Amino acid sequence: MKTTAILFMFTIICATAFGQTDKSKRPSPPDSVKVTTDDGVTVDIHYSRPHLKGRQIGIDIVKVGEIWRTGANEATTIAFDKNVLIEGKNLPQGKYGLYTLPGEQETTVIFNKVWDQWGTKYDQNQDALRINVRNETSNSPEEQFKIDIDKSGKLILTWGDYLLPIKIKAAK
């Protein structure tokens, strides 16, 4: 009986440890983007890319007025190697969890001090910065959530026909 219990526990541990090693096989696979901006800030983002699958943003998923992990699976992380200005507001260099609070006309973008966790574990008391960004419409809708950043420091979150541009600059 004891041997059976030990074998059962060993099997569970092995399945958990080895079954999650290939994250690319998840329904919302991981992705990343890393760029050094023209003003010398290296921005490194790691996130997972959920699909719409016929769902409506604001109704079925990413509901207005509810915190969203800005991706899927683990918390989306964003790291800066220098102090930055996000939409003109100071944020110290470091690594952050990236969350959003969607609204009808604008979205609150949240940089949270806790980044090494599952994405749904959000604690507002750990927010390092909150900024409001006006929602825009994309000319080319994305079935799969996408984060991109260009050399000018323009960070863009796109999903469905929603587009959220965020300006990042080196702090002086």
What is the structure's pLDDT at 13?
47
The total number of structural domains in the chain stands at 1
In 3D space, the residue among 117, 108, 119, 137 whose CA is nearest the CA of residue 49 turns out to be 119
DSSP 8-state symbol, 120: T
Highest mean pLDDT among 66-70, 113-117, 153-157: 153-157
Rounded CA separation 32/67 (Å): 22
16 falls within a domain: no
Is 107 in contact with 101 (CB distance < 8 Å)?
yes
Establish if 147 belongs to a structural domain.
yes
Evaluate whether residue 14 is within a structural domain.
Answer: no
127 in any annotated domain: yes
Cβ-based neighbours of 76, under 8 Å, separated by 6 or more: 45, 46, 47, 48, 69, 70, 97, 98, 99, 119, 147
Boundaries of domain holding 68 = 27-170
What is the structure's pLDDT at 117? 84
Position 13 in a domain: no
Mean pLDDT of the 46-67 span: 90
Tens-place pLDDT, residues 4-46: 545 445 444 444 444 456 766 766 889 899 999 999 999 999 9
Q: What is the pLDDT of residues 93-148, one digit of tens each?
A: 999 999 999 999 999 999 999 998 877 788 999 999 999 999 999 998 999 999 99
- For residues 144-165, average pLDDT: 96
Tell me, yes or no, whether 8 lies in a domain.
no
**What pTM does this model have?**
0.83
Q: Does residue 157 lie in a domain region? A: yes
59 is a domain residue: yes
pLDDT of residue 79: 98
Q: Give the pLDDT band of residue 61 (cuts 50, 70, 90).
A: confident
Residues 80, 116, 93: CA angle, nearest 5 degrees: 20
Predicted confidence at residue 21, as pLDDT, reads 62
